[in-house]
Chain A
Amino acid sequence: MIVGEQKPFAQVKSFIEEYGKLLVVGCGSCATVCLAGGEREVMTLASALRIAFLREEREKEILEHCVTRQCEPEFLEPLVARARSEGIEAVLSLGCGVGVKLLAEKLQDLPVFPGLDTKFFGATTEAGVWVEMCAGCGDCILHLTGGICPIARCSKSMLNGPCGGSKDGKCEIGPDTECGWALIIERMRRLGTLDRLDEVLPPRDWSSGHFGGPRRVVREELVTHRSDDE
């Protein structure tokens, strides 16, 4: 999932100071699963904002909404219609950055603010802990490294084994970070495939990642081309 974390309350509040009617929008997908921006978090945040403004004796209308997936245009249509019909002045999204971006696109003349900091692609490893697992680099090498990604899980994205900073399974950047290469070596040892790491991997072509510029995926068979005859 895409893991997010709520921005500091004061910062979120500062975004919306000047608006009288606000819609807080949650997302039923990743943001819900990582307990950062689902229906429940929308309710909690909206209440907290109402109370904070009331304490300052300022009345604001803060409405709540949750969509199944903020990252898919069709799920946003009812929301767009509601924002228009109810005279919403600004939207606070508790989706990931994709949700914020897409909402902004659909709600052309309305300001959309991010309620979350979008962190990474990851998973929960224990209650309350989420860990980055994939860097979204666009050219997966997990078949070479036992299913554990050195790009995402090594602080230096080393491709040919651990640097000198691995200690007791931890990374040199701190005791809370596992050494990605210690994990890879342990895993491949267990699989009996450690020898595969002897191969020297050449410098990578990073153009498949963000470094190649904003990316897109095109599946020709699904693209509906307009015929020239029409």
Chain B
Amino acid sequence: MKSGSNLERVLEADQFAVTVELGPPMDCSAEVVLEKARLLKGCADAFNITDNQTAVVRLSSIAGALLILQEGLEPVMQMTCRDRNRIAIQSDILGAAALGIRNCLCIAGDHQSFGAAGRLKGHPGAKNVYDVDSLQLVSILKGLRDDGRQQGGDPVETRPPLFIGAAWTPMGDPVDYRPRRLRKKVAAGADFIQTQGVYDVDQFRGQMAKAAAMGLHEQTAILAGIIVPKSAVMLRYMDSSVAGVTVPRALIDRMEAAKARAGDDKQRVRLEQEEEGIRITVELIEQVREIEGVRGVHLQAIEWEKRVPEIVERAGLLPRPTVAEA
């Protein structure tokens, strides 16, 4: 065991893993985090606390991770390269490990010009850091854990027991380069991978086959990302504007049909689409589960966490396995 985290144990025991994203609030309300934690407890093996996602200031990932840890949930602390240099990164990682956080997902982070894709002001004039890239971040964590060495070379006496994650955008451009990019992340030391949201299962299957041909599925645990769709508008937006996400026409049509079924009643229009979105999610989980090398799913229900327990239940993924610590 590298970290002894619940997520690592579940994967080691060859169980199909479930992780769920939990977005912290844009203020200092611990209660918001705890409420989501209570709602989600027991429906996943670990819960990702995002790190100022879409470059919007939110309660910190490290604090959010500690809050849910105290509530009895296991966090995956996300860490971006956008906001910290290698000094702050390593300091926060050591601090997180001291607090009992065992999983860390290493990501580049959305560029600060994002500001939630224009829906919020954000801080587009911020100075970014990018001292290291997401792949180097993986290697830094591995160095702390396996070599007991800081990136600069100084020793680390008590090594942080971390389960190191990285993101993969299998359908991102340039698409034929993506399997090689994954191979690099695995070589850098990624123990697990959470992918960008998958809607186009056929294309994902193709990319997974390429990854499997390189043996990557045996060197790292790949969790397929699923973003729960809420409406036809959302699906269309994801398809046109979110890099690395393509939504097949058939799914958009299904959502449109649900919308049409609802008639003129605005509330019904919303509910019908939401129900269709949940059906689609459950089907996507079942489909990716069949793909060779997919070791779990990573669910993102953006500000809609309350529906996750039902999704996991309907996908036949409850109860979550209990794997005793060695």
Contacts and interface: CB of A to CB of B under 8 A. Distances in A.
A182 B173 contact: yes
Interface string B157-183: 000000000011100111001001101
B111 A162 contact: no
A155 interface: yes
Contacts of A197: 180
A186 B82 contact: no
B90 to A, nearest CB: 11
A42 to B, nearest CB: 32
Interface string B133-171: 111100110000000000100000000000000011100
Most B C-beta atoms less than 10 A away, residue of A161, A163, A201: A163
B132 interface: yes
Most B C-beta atoms less than 10 A away, residue of A166, A197, A203: A203
A221 interface: no
A203 B180 contact: no
A19 B294 CA distance: 72
Interface in B38-60: none
A172 B130 CA distance: 15
A202 B109 CA distance: 19
B254 interface: no
User: What's the interface size class on B, roughly?
Assistant: 35 or more
B64 interface: no
Contacts of A157: 130, 133
Contact of A172 (B111, B139, B167, B168): B111
Most A C-beta atoms less than 10 A away, residue of B82, B131, B177: B177
Contacts of B136: 159-160, 200-203
Contacts of A203: 86, 131-132, 136, 139-140, 151
Contacts of B130: 156-158
Nearest to B173: A166
Interface in A150-207: 155-169, 171-174, 179, 181-182, 185-186, 194, 197-198, 200-204, 206
Contact of B196 (A160, A164, A181): A164
Given A164-B167, A167-B173, A158 B108 contact: yes
Most A C-beta atoms less than 10 A away, residue of B135, B151, B188: B135
A203 B114 CA distance: 25
Contact of A162 (B114, B128, B174): B174
B97 interface: no
A84 to B, nearest CB: 41
Given A160-B136, A163-B108, A206 B131 contact: yes
Nearest to A199: B184
Nearest to B124: A173
B169 A160 contact: no
A172 B113 CA distance: 9
Nearest to A161: B181
Contact of B177 (A162, A163, A206): A162
Interchain residue pairs A-B with the least CB separation, the first 3: A164-B169, A167-B243, A160-B135
25 contacts: A156-B81, A156-B133, A157-B130, A160-B133, A160-B135, A162-B174, A162-B177, A162-B181, A163-B133, A163-B134, A164-B167, A164-B169, A165-B108, A166-B173, A167-B173, A172-B111, A172-B114, A173-B111, A174-B113, A179-B173, A181-B174, A182-B173, A186-B174, A194-B180, A203-B139
Interface of B: 81-82, 86, 108-111, 113-114, 128, 130-136, 139-140, 151, 167-169, 172-174, 177, 180-181, 183-184, 187-188, 196, 243-244
Given A162-B172, A165-B108, A173-B113, 6 more contacts: A156-B82, A157-B130, A161-B180, A167-B243, A185-B177, A194-B180
Interface of A: 155-169, 171-174, 179, 181-182, 185-186, 194, 197-198, 200-204, 206
